[in-house]
A and B are shown apart, each in its own frame.
Chain A
Amino acid sequence: MNPFDLKSALLAHHAQHVVLIHFPIALFLVSVAFDFVAQWKRNAALATAAYYNLTIAAISTIPVLATGLMAWRWQLEGQRLKGTLLLHLVLGIASSVLICMAWWLHFRGRKPERTLPQYRLALELVGAAVVALTGHLGGFLSGVNSPV
């Protein structure tokens, strides 16, 4: 494969999923870290940074889910959903829902008459754990976590 062949790079079996997935993972984990530090230090700038990171993380889950489903249908030729593949799909959807829920809580909490609920921190921790587990399983499917 020619590494500079644009068609292959963009359309080869929807390998973009493994590229795009880094965006919501990184943005969400950073936003969780920022939110915890903002809560601890009472730092409004960090809270704002957490919100914007979370916003882009939530938006980026859409193409990630779409390319993930396309990779399953085309690269894996619609393999039967079981084992690692099924778990990755279920946890991937759960991750997206948790990221969007965290974003929604922040979005709502930014209105002047509302405050950020404390339970969002627990939700974000659960979200970070589910995201990590999803990525771990995705690493096996893509071969990144293979023993050789």
Chain B
Amino acid sequence: MRRTGFTLGFAALAIVLIMMAGRAKSFGATAMQDKPVTEVKIDNFVFAPNPVTVPAGTTIRWTNRDDIPHNVVAEDKSFKSKVMDTDESFTYTFSKPGTYTYFCSIHPKMTGKVMVQ
């Protein structure tokens, strides 16, 4: 009887631990999903949307939808992507508030602005 009680207690503890681990895992996944990512498309030689206003800590993902290679270069040189082929992306996280202007160094008339609050 005592042994059965011990086994049941152990099983209950195991179930509680497994549930806690599951919650922790799902919490972690939620935290990952909550990290804000804003999409900026490069299409027809235009950054869209432009300008972008985001809170500090936001990650911006630029994706090249053109058949022509493009890149993303900050005017203050705080970030610079490699040249992106069609459907390739570049991400950068803006941790400090401010206004960041950027352009495509291959086609310098393509410009964009990110306002971080």
Asked if B67 and A76 sit within 8 Å, CB to CB, the answer is no
CA distance A48 to B69 in the complex (A): 42
Asked if A84 and B67 sit within 8 Å, CB to CB, the answer is yes
Asked if B68 and A84 sit within 8 Å, CB to CB, the answer is yes
Asked if A83 and B86 sit within 8 Å, CB to CB, the answer is yes
The B interface is mostly helix, strand or loop, or mixed, namely loop
Could you say which of B16-24, B32-40, B92-100, B105-113 contacts chain A? B105-113
Given A84-B67, A85-B69: A146 and B107 within 8 A (CB)?
yes
- Of the residues B44, B85, B105, B110, contact of A13 by C-beta under 8 Å: B105
B45 in the interface (beta carbon within 8 A): yes
B83 in the interface (beta carbon within 8 A): yes
Asked if B109 and A143 sit within 8 Å, CB to CB, the answer is yes
Asked if A76 and B106 sit within 8 Å, CB to CB, the answer is yes
Asked if A77 and B45 sit within 8 Å, CB to CB, the answer is no
Asked if A147 and B45 sit within 8 Å, CB to CB, the answer is yes
Q: Which of B10-59 contact A (CB under 8 A)?
A: 44-46
Known: A142-B106, A146-B107, A146-B110. 9 other contacts (CB 8 A): A75-B83, A76-B83, A80-B85, A83-B86, A85-B68, A85-B69, A143-B68, A143-B109, A148-B45
What are 10 contact pairs spanning A and B, CB under 8 A? A76-B106, A77-B83, A79-B69, A80-B85, A83-B86, A84-B67, A141-B69, A143-B45, A143-B107, A148-B44
